[in-house]
Amino acid sequence: MTLIQTVAELEAIYGETGEASRIKVSDRLTSGYRKLIEASPLMALATCGPEGLDCSPRGDPGQVVAIKDDRTLLLADRRGNNRIDSLRNIVRDGRVALLFLIPGSNSTLRINGRAEISVDADLLANLATEGKPPRTVIIITINEIYFQCARALMRAQIWDSSTWSDPAGLPTPGSLMRELKQDFDSQSYDREWPERAKNSLW
C-alpha cells in the first residue's frame, strides 16, 4: 500500500486551488451567506478535545442557529442524551467547524471558528422554543465562512426520494443496543421511543 506522507505529495496530485475556491472565503457573513444560514434547519457541529474529535447533528425548525451579528452565531443546545461530548470539547478547546444543510439544495455552507458556552439568562430566554429555554447557548465566532460546491450532494442524490433506503429495513436503536448488551430490552425501548422523543424535543 502506497501512502501519502507529505503535503507536497498531495499538492503534486491535486494541483493548485482554483480562483473560485479562494475568493469564496469570507471572515464574516455576507448577505448571501446570511440567506443560506437562514434557510438551514440542520447542521453538523465538529469539535475537538483531549480525547479526540466529535461531530454531532444539530437541528431546529426553520433555522438551526440565530444570527447575532455578521461575526457571531448563537446555537441553542436543546435536549439530548446528556453525553455533552461537544460541550466538554468546547470548554477545553474552543475550535469548531460547522456544516449547514439546506433541504432541496445541493449547496452546503461551511464555517470554521471558535466557540464559548453561555448560561446568560437573556440568551436562554430569547432562544426558548415552546416556552422551554435551552440549558446552554453555544456562541460561535466566525473565522472563515464559505459555500461548498454541490458535487458531493449531487453524487449522493440526497434529496431524491427514489434513492432512499426503506427505514423499515434498517436496524432500530433498540436492536443496535441489544448487540452491545445482550439483556437490553430492545422491544420496549423501540416501542416507547417515539413518544419519549416527542415529549422531550425541547
| pLDDT per residue as tens digits for the range 161-186 | 999 999 999 999 999 999 999 999 99
Residue 150 grid coordinates: 454541490
Q: Mean pLDDT for the chain?
A: 95
d(CA 115, CA 68): 14
User: Which pLDDT score is estimated for 77?
Assistant: 97
Cβ-count burial 140-158 (b if 16+ within 10 Å, e if not): bebeebeebeeeebeeeee
pLDDT attached to residue 62: 92
* pLDDT at residue 4 in the model: 96
For 16, the grid coordinates are: 493548485
pTM: 0.94
CA-nearest of 141, 149, 68, 78 to 111 is 141
The answer, yes or no, to whether residue 19 has pLDDT greater than 90, is: no
Cell of 129: 422554543
Domains of the chain plus CATH, in order, are 17-158 (2.30.110.10), 167-202 (no CATH)
DSSP classification of residue 14: H
